[in-house]
Amino acid sequence: MTDVQQLLPCSEPVRFLEPTGTLVAGGPGEEASARGYAMPEPEALVEVWRNMVLGRRFDAQATALTKQGRLAVYPSSRGQDACQVAPVLTMTGPDWLFPTYRDSMALFVRGLNPAESMAQLRGNWHSGYDPKATQTGPQTTPLATQALHAAGAAYGMVRRGTGGVALCYIGDGATSEGDFHEGMNFAAVFNAPTVFVVQNNKYAISVPLAKQTKAPSLAYKGVGYGVRSEQVDGNDPIAMLAVSRAAFEHARSGGGPFLIEAHTYRMEAHTNADDATRYRSSDEVDEWVGRDPIVRLQTWLLAEGHIEDATVEEVRAEGEEIAARIRSIMNEDAVLDPMELFEHVYAEPTPQLREQAAMVAAEEALR
């Protein structure tokens, strides 16, 4: 392959596993094989499946907490499970994660305390967890701002010689933002070890992909910056792990940034405040439910004897224990101080702010 061809993604999304749960006849194809995407070992795939099952239960519990008023908002990632799990399981000790608001499942898989990771969604200030201690940036709501943070952190790790890689999650809508392009360009120019994972779930809230871009694949945006890129079936956990491993190896070995476009689908609404029936049909949702990444991989693992029915039940029970712990934590009322509203607004509070603070303080004194 020429230098340019090495940057280009495969002409079709990389796929190892059919939606029915059987391996693709003949493997992932010549293009994918030429790029070094290898079938992961069964033990690693069992771990991906287990984390998807537990992550799905976490996601369902968080969605339920919004209906009980325990979370202000929650953007579900149901259906994007393989995208949330496989790249995170590829990370090693010195690596950093830079998530979006939709990546709570990825934080769960990374091992963050759910009470801390959901603090922001509960309405608390800051991210709830310590970014430095967890090597995990705050979940960003402004689109694509984390691309700059990831590229800068990756460059910093090179300068310090720590050997880490920055994993940056991006949504398809965020690829239309300037910060995405600036982050990609910086990472390429400075050869910063960054893995950008674009979760193309087909909608930027209610705006369909066709109204965002004419590009044949978002992965083609990488070549414009000199970034090696790939498109993958994001509902195929085997393909997601195989390509994630290649991307991290590329970045870790000095090859610079890598862009992965994961073709997937958001099975739930954008958030609990969204009515998805206004912009997509039930037939479309049903079609994607039929490509569920958990069912897909579980079918193959059972058929090949890598797990048994008893294993499925054990992991399901583990998920219920996790959900019960989350309910117990989140049902505790937070201790709130209304006066915090007025802190850190201005270095020197304005007269109006002082007046408002005095009014709230007087009201609180009467309680």
Q: How many Cα atoms within 13 Å fall on the side-chain side of residue 345?
A: 13
Is the predicted pLDDT of residue 188 greater than 90, yes or no?
A: yes
Is the predicted pLDDT of residue 264 greater than 80, yes or no?
A: yes
User: Residue 58: what pLDDT?
Assistant: 96
Mean pLDDT score, 247-261: 97
User: Residue 331: what pLDDT?
Assistant: 86
User: Residue 4: what pLDDT?
Assistant: 86
- DSSP for 174-224 reads GGGSHHHHHHHHHHHHTT--EEEEEEE-SEETTEEGGGT---S-GGGGTGG
Q: For residue 260, give the 3-state DSSP assignment.
A: strand
Q: For residue 231, give the 3-state DSSP assignment.
A: strand
180 close to 188: Cβ distance less than 8 angstroms: no
Name which of 16-25, 101-110, 114-123, 274-283 the model is least confident about. Answer: 114-123
Mean pLDDT score, 148-171: 97
Query: What CATH class is the domain 4-336?
Result: alpha beta
d(CA 241, CA 259): 14
User: Residue 20: what pLDDT?
Assistant: 96
d(CA 321, CA 92): 27
Cα angle at 77 between 71 and 80, to 5 degrees? 170
Q: Report CA Rg, the chain.
A: 22
Q: Where in the chain is the domain with CATH 3.40.50.970?
A: 4-336
Name the more confident of 147 and 122.
147
Structure confidence at residue 102 as a pLDDT band (50, 70, 90) = very high
User: Residue 137: what pLDDT?
Assistant: 96
Q: Tokens at residue 2, please?
A: 């020429």
d(CA 87, CA 83): 7
Task: Give catalytic residues, as residue numbers.
Answer: 266, 270, 279
pLDDT tens-place string over residues 25-75: 999 999 999 999 999 999 999 999 999 999 999 999 999 999 998 898 999
pLDDT tens-place string over residues 279-337: 999 999 999 999 999 999 999 999 999 999 999 999 999 999 999 999 998 888 878 88
pLDDT tens-place string over residues 202-243: 999 999 999 989 988 999 999 999 999 999 999 999 999 999
User: Residue 333: what pLDDT?
Assistant: 81
Work out whether the CA dihedral 277, 104, 126, 165 comes out positive or negative: negative
User: Residue 1: what pLDDT?
Assistant: 60
User: Residue 2: what pLDDT?
Assistant: 60
Average pLDDT, the chain: 94
Chain position carrying tokens 């709130």:
336
Q: Tokens at residue 105, please?
A: 């499942």
239 close to 10: Cβ distance less than 8 angstroms: no
Task: Give which of 230, 229, 179, 174 is closest to 207, Cα–Cα.
Answer: 174
Task: For the full predicted model, state whether its pTM sits above 0.95.
Answer: no
d(CA 67, CA 41): 40
Q: With pLDDT > 90 as the criterion, what percentage of the chain qualifies?
A: 85
Q: What's the maximum distance between 2 C-alpha atoms anywhere in the chain? A: 75
User: Residue 159: what pLDDT?
Assistant: 97
